[in-house]
C-alpha cells in the first residue's frame, strides 16, 4: 500500500478553508450578540433622573387625588422587578413599594418593610391570587378584593393585614400592554369595613388604569 501524498498547495488551501470557516463563525456570533444587545437597548432606553422624578411626582399627585375622592386609609403603588439572579440562573422576583400615601399619621406605613423584598410566602400567594382571579372573574379582572380579612385562607397574609391594621383591601395587578408582563400593583387599603359595591368597583378599576398610564407613559 502506498500512502497518498497531497501537494503542499492542497494542504495549505484546506487549512485556509478551515481557518476562514472558524473566523467566519466567530464573527457571525459576535455580530449577532452585538445586534441583540443593540436591539434590547433600543427597545428599553435609559430612564433619566428627571424622567423618574417626574413620574414619581405624577404618581404622588395621583395618590393625593385618589385619597381626596375615595377616602381609604392609604393607597400605595408597588413595582415588580428582577432583583438579580440565583446561581442557577433563575431570576429573583422582587416587589418594591414605590409610593405610599396614608390618610394621617395614625395609619401604619408599609414602605420601611417593603423595599425590594422577595416575592415569596404571603406575597407570592397574594400576587398569584390576583392572577388566578383574572382567570375566574367576569371580564378577567386581575384583582384581590378583601371585604373581611378573617376570611382570607392564607394565614400569613391574614396575619400581615392584622399587623398593619388593614381591615379591607382592593388590589389590582397592572401589566405592560406590549409584553403582557406584570409590572406593578395598585392598592387601596381600609381600616374599616367596606362593601365594594359595583359603583365602587368601577371607580377603583378606572383609577387603577389611570395609574398604569402614568407608570408606563401610555397616552
Tell me the pLDDT tens digit for each residue of 16-45.
666 666 666 665 666 565 655 555 555 555
Q: At what angle do helices 122-136 and 155-163 cross, to 10 degrees?
A: 110
- Percent of the chain whose predicted confidence (pLDDT) is above 90: 58
Would you say residue 108 has pLDDT above 70? yes
Q: 30-34, 51-55, 59-63, 67-71: lowest mean pLDDT where?
A: 30-34
The pLDDT of 117-135, averaged and rounded, is 92
Please name every residue paired with 199 in a beta bridge, in sequence order, or none if there are none.
Answer: none
Q: What is the Cα–Cα distance from 169 to 124, expressed in whole angstroms?
A: 17
Radius of gyration of the chain (CA): 27
Q: What is the pLDDT of residue 2?
A: 46
Per-residue pLDDT tens for 164-201? 999 999 999 999 988 888 999 999 999 999 999 999 99
What is the mean pLDDT of the segment spanning 130-154?
87
Distance CA 164, CA 158 (A): 10
Of 16 and 58, the one with more pLDDT: 58
Give 136's pLDDT tier (boundaries 50, 70, 90). Answer: confident
Give the residue-averaged pLDDT of 212-216: 93
Q: Which pLDDT does position 166 carry in this prediction?
A: 96
CA distance 189 to 107: 10
pLDDT digits (tens, 9 = 90+) for 86-98: 787 777 789 999 9
Going by DSSP bridges, is the β-strand pair 182-190/143-146 parallel, antiparallel, or unpaired?
unpaired
State the cell numbers at 114. Answer: 417593603
pLDDT value at 107 more than 50 = yes
pLDDT exceeds 70 at position 85 = yes
Amino acid at each position: 500500500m502506498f500512502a497518498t501524498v497531497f501537494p503542499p498547495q492542497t494542504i495549505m488551501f484546506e487549512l485556509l478553508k478551515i481557518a476562514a470557516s472558524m473566523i467566519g463563525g466567530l464573527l457571525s456570533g459576535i455580530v449577532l450578540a452585538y445586534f441583540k444587545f443593540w436591539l434590547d437597548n433600543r427597545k428599553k432606553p435609559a430612564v433619566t433622573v428627571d424622567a423618574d422624578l417626574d413620574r414619581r411626582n405624577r404618581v404622588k399627585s395621583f395618590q393625593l387625588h385618589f385619597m381626596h375622592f375615595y377616602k381609604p386609609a392609604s393607597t400605595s403603588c408597588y413595582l415588580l422587578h428582577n432583583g438579580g439572579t440565583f446561581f442557577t440562573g433563575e431570576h429573583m422576583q422582587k416587589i418594591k413599594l414605590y409610593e405610599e400615601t396614608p390618610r394621617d399619621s395614625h395609619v401604619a406605613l408599609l414602605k420601611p418593610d417593603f423595599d425590594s423584598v422577595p416575592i415569596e410566602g404571603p406575597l407570592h400567594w397574594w400576587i398569584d391570587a390576583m392572577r388566578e382571579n383574572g382567570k375566574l372573574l367576569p371580564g378577567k379582572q386581575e384583582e384581590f378584593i378583601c371585604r373581611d380579612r378573617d376570611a382570607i385562607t392564607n394565614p400569613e397574609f391574614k396575619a400581615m393585614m392584622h399587623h398593619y391594621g388593614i381591615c379591607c383591601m382592593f388590589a389590582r395587578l397592572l401589566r405592560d400592554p406590549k409584553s403582557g408582563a406584570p409590572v406593578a400593583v395598585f392598592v387601596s387599603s381600609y381600616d374599616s369595613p367596606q362593601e365594594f359595591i359595583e359603583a365602587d368597583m368601577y371607580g377603583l378599576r378606572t383609577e387603577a388604569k389611570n395609574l398604569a398610564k402614568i407608570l408606563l407613559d401610555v397616552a
